[in-house]
């Protein structure tokens, strides 16, 4: 999940162990910050950003650290740690309610709370690490749901005009794993409004794997608690639920997005993969096809557990997760593994893989 933006920077941050950013990322990698500032309210987030700007320092806004890769040199500026918490109902009617969630609220805590209250709309996004404020940045999605379906507005600090604004969902530029907030240093998300449905049942189950696991047909609805429990079980089986004792979960989740190909490019892929069977794919809007990055990686020779240099490897549970195995692991070794996979897939299939996480002071 993306929960960070960063301005391009040069130089190296001071080497103070107390500011090592590996402490604040799910990868457990990343060098030191020049300065750390903790913000526990929306007002403090704005204040800390403005103070850094007044010092003419670059700014990195970091919440759950679950979808960011920070270079070994760290970040030679101010890192604002977003620790705002809480949510409240700000509008409701007989069938729906609008929930305003602070940017630093842990995402899975929020999902658990909505399921417990019979608020439907987020249940298939269970188990995703990171913060609520990160979800519109990445347009977080899993098991047939995306936050773009329930977000109705985002409160953000506009660094260009130095004012707090509300951005309606239609103006957020939501796309597959993207939005106007991603890769931009203009906006700092402060809170997010979700419109949820009053129902003890999930939305229609769209994802075939989830439908099979919960024992229903695609399109059926199931109790919210069943949907959440099944998603958590499926994610855990892929190493996608954080576990301090399991290095398979020391990752950013899926490292590469599923390629979205024009029809001609997809047909070329099918030709190059003719000896391997039909590539798993899904039709997209217009004449495009989304292809499984995990399948491409595996068929290009990078299977589960594939080792990289110096303490990194592909997860033993899922080929899309690049993991820190501890010891001598570094961001540079993780990046080297990512390049090896990207180049290998392109050589084999002619398809370009693109990283899903935000990269800070490192390049793939």
Task: Write down the catalytic residue from 102, 105, 146, 356.
Answer: 356
Active site (annotated) includes residue 102: no
Active site (annotated) includes residue 177: yes
For residue 68, count other CB atoms closer than 10 A to its CB: 29
Task: Write down the catalytic residue from 254, 315, 330, 333.
Answer: 254
Active site (annotated) includes residue 254: yes
* CA 103/CA 1 separation, integer angstroms: 13
> What region does 277 belong to: left with phi over 0, alpha with psi -120 to 50, or beta?
left
* CA 312/CA 169 separation, integer angstroms: 38
Task: Write down the catalytic residue from 28, 177, 228, 325.
Answer: 177
Q: Which of the residues are catalytic?
A: 177, 254, 356
């Amino acid at each position: 999940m993306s929960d960070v933006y960063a301005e391009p920077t040069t130089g190296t941050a001071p080497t103070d162990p107390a500011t090592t950013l590996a402490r604040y990322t799910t990868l457990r990698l990343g060098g030191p910050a020049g300065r750390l500032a903790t913000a526990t309210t929306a007002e403090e987030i704005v204040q800390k950003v403005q103070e850094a700007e007044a010092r003419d320092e670059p700014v990195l806004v970091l919440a759950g650290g679950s979808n960011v890769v920070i270079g070994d040199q760290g970040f030679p500026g101010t890192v604002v740690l977003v620790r705002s918490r809480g949510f409240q109902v700000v509008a409701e009617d007989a069938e729906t309610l609008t929930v305003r969630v602070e940017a630093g609220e842990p995402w899975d805590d929020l999902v658990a709370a909505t399921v417990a209250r019979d608020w439907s709309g987020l249940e298939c996004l269970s188990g995703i690490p990171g913060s609520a404020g990160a979800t519109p940045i990445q347009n977080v999605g899993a098991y047939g749901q995306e936050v773009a379906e329930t977000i109705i507005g985002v409160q953000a600090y506009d660094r260009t005009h130095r004012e707090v604004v509300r951005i309606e969902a239609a103006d957020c530029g939501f796309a597959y794993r993207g939005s106007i907030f991603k890769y931009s240093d203009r906006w700092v998300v402060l809170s997010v409004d979700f419109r949820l449905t009053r129902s003890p049942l999930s939305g229609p189950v769209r994802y075939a794997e989830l439908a099979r696991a919960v024992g229903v047909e695609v399109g059926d609805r199931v109790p919210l608690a069943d949907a959440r429990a099944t998603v958590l079980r499926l994610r855990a089986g892929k190493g996608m639920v954080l576990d301090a004792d399991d290095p398979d979960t020391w990752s950013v989740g899926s490292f590469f997005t599923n390629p979205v190909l024009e029809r001609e490019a997809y047909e070329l892929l099918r030709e190059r993969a003719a000896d391997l069977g039909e590539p798993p794919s899904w039709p997209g809007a217009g004449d495009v096809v989304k292809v499984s990055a995990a399948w491409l990686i595996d068929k290009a020779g990078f299977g589960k557990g594939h080792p990289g240099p110096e303490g990194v490897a592909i997860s033993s549970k899922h080929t899309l997760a690049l993991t820190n195995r501890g010891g001598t692991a570094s961001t540079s070794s993780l990046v080297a593994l990512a390049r090896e996979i990207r180049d290998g897939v392109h050589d084999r299939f002619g398809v370009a893989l693109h990283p899903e996480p935000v990269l800070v002071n490192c390049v793939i």
